[in-house]
Amino acid sequence: MTAKRRLLLGCIADDFTGATDLANNLVRAGMSTVQTIGVPSVDLASDDQEGPDAIVVALKSRTISPQDAVAQSLAALKWLKSQGAEQIYFKYCSTFDSTAEGNIGPVTQALMAALQSRFTVACPAFPEALRTVFKGHLFVGDQLLSDSGMRNHPLTPMLDANLVSVLQKQTTLKVGLLSYDVVARGAEAVRERFAQLQADGVEVAVLDAISNADLLTLGQALAGMPLVTAGSGIAIGLPQNWRANGALGPAAAADKLPLAKGFKAIISGSCSLATNAQVTHFQQLGCASFRVDALALARGEDLVAHALAWAKPLLTVENPAPLLIYATAEPAAVKDVQAQLGVEKAGSLVEAALASIAKGLLALGVRQLVVAGGETSGAVVQALGVTQLAIGPQIAPGVPWTFASNGAQQPLHLALKSGNFGGVDFFTQAFAVLHD
């Protein structure tokens, strides 16, 4: 009988694209990783099976009520602890976006209470994706978060780049800062500063980080901390701790997926600046695309049927190119739709339509699917009945291919892209990576 592998890291992600982003970084660092869709009802590996080094539980909790986000996160924590997770990682977006009431602060506070932890950290930095934190302020490339396209996000607009301020408004915990000058002095200096902050009553420390070297330093300092809260960047610094104590072997390729087959398609619901540029680039290449209009949906037009009727003759062996079905729009257009329909109704109409289209595309033989947007990805994955994803090769920082290894209606390669990630050629580059 093979001994069950220790579960080193148990992760709770507040959306599906964020979950694959985190899992991608863990796999790149040599940790075998499985992503589940929602909280599993059974053990992931029985006693005679070799389990993964890390499990990422993907929730759809970023924009729901704080009470519901807390309840779902605590359920995920309970399950991960039942699997023996040694350290817990609460993952949110690298742009720290949340509603005015939360949910980063409320979930962090609830997880700390459940773990009886008196101190944790917050660090959304992911330099590879141009997210850095300096003096507690979050930058997107060369811009402050509040000056970036995130200020116009339709669900979670971010108007303040000061993370200490943003987080303090969401929690009764005392929030402080561990600044870059401390990080530059190494892991031991970081640990000493942790102790000083705790002595001063700080319960959550926002961490500066502007490079991968900083993330490695911080990761080393976080060894043994019961709860880490962060974007996906800190994940590259944690595996070294288990490698150092012998619990994790040498880094090895852990991103092999089954051979990709079937037709190719893209579903885009994100309205971020990056995704808008990707849609435009795809269309400029002359590739086929179909627009889903929220106002038309509200009028009762059956755009699901229209989209699938449009797609069917294009999905042929003679036409190997991917096709695009999108609801992506510029910020001004999104605001106009929201003004007419309301934010919640506009979002739910589009998500439901895109999820139904995804099911229809699978019925037409699509087996390679890119989905852009966190909310859209959540809706699509749930509609397809996917319960578990194997993590494959990286397309762009934060975005890997995955394989729906169980629960899907059909075998399926999926790429779940956060709206802000990827270059302008992401949609075409994604399929090139899968077939390398």
Q: What is the pLDDT of residues 87-145, one digit of tens each?
A: 999 999 988 988 778 899 999 999 999 999 999 999 999 999 899 999 999 999 999 98
Q: What pLDDT score does 115 carry? A: 98
CB 397 within 8 A of CB 382: no
**Domain finish residue from 244, 278, 308:** 244
Does 162 lie in the same domain as 69? Answer: yes
Assess if residue 257 is contained within a domain: no
> In terms of pLDDT, which residue wins out, 280 or 151?
280
**Domain finish residue from 211, 244, 277:** 244
CB 358 within 8 A of CB 371: yes
Assess if residue 417 is contained within a domain: yes
Does 224 lie in the same domain as 278? Answer: no
Would you put residue 247 in left (φ > 0), alpha (ψ -120 to 50) or beta? alpha
Assess if residue 152 is contained within a domain: yes
Does 230 lie in the same domain as 198? Answer: yes
Q: What pLDDT score does 149 carry? A: 83
Does 346 lie in the same domain as 240? Answer: no
The CATH number of whichever domain residue 421 belongs to comes to 3.40.980.20
Q: What pLDDT score does 46 carry? A: 47
Assess if residue 360 is contained within a domain: yes
Helices 343-363, 331-341: crossing angle, 10 deg rounding: 110
Does 304 lie in the same domain as 237? Answer: no
Does 293 lie in the same domain as 237? Answer: no
The CATH number of whichever domain residue 92 belongs to comes to 3.40.50.10840
Q: What pLDDT score does 346 carry? A: 87
pLDDT over threshold 80, residue 2: no
The arithmetic mean of pLDDT across residues 333-349, rounded, is: 88
Assess if residue 397 is contained within a domain: yes
Summarize pLDDT for 182-225 with one digit per residue, the tens. Answer: 999 999 999 999 999 999 999 999 999 999 999 999 999 999 99
Q: What pLDDT score does 76 carry? A: 98
Least confident of 4-8, 55-59, 199-203, 238-242: 4-8
Q: What pLDDT score does 1 carry? A: 35
d(CA 22, CA 17): 9
Summarize pLDDT for 377-421 with one digit per residue, the tens. Answer: 989 998 998 888 888 889 998 899 999 865 545 789 999 998 888
The arithmetic mean of pLDDT across residues 236-256, rounded, is: 84
The arithmetic mean of pLDDT across residues 315-334, rounded, is: 91
Structural domain harbouring 155: 9-244
Assess if residue 143 is contained within a domain: yes
Q: What pLDDT score does 48 carry? A: 42
Does 281 lie in the same domain as 202? Answer: no
Q: What pLDDT score does 405 carry? A: 64
> In terms of pLDDT, which residue wins out, 310 or 27?
310
Q: What pLDDT score does 26 carry? A: 93
Does 362 lie in the same domain as 303? Answer: yes
Task: Look over the chain and give the mean of its residue pLDDT values, rounded to a whole number.
Answer: 91
Does 38 lie in the same domain as 174? Answer: yes
Assess if residue 1 is contained within a domain: no
49: number of Cβ within 10 Å: 12
Assess if residue 53 is contained within a domain: yes
CB 86 within 8 A of CB 115: no
Q: What pLDDT score does 9 carry? A: 97
Does 314 lie in the same domain as 192? Answer: no
- Tally of domains within the chain: 2
pLDDT over threshold 80, residue 5: no
Give the whole-number percent of the chain exceeding pLDDT 90.
69
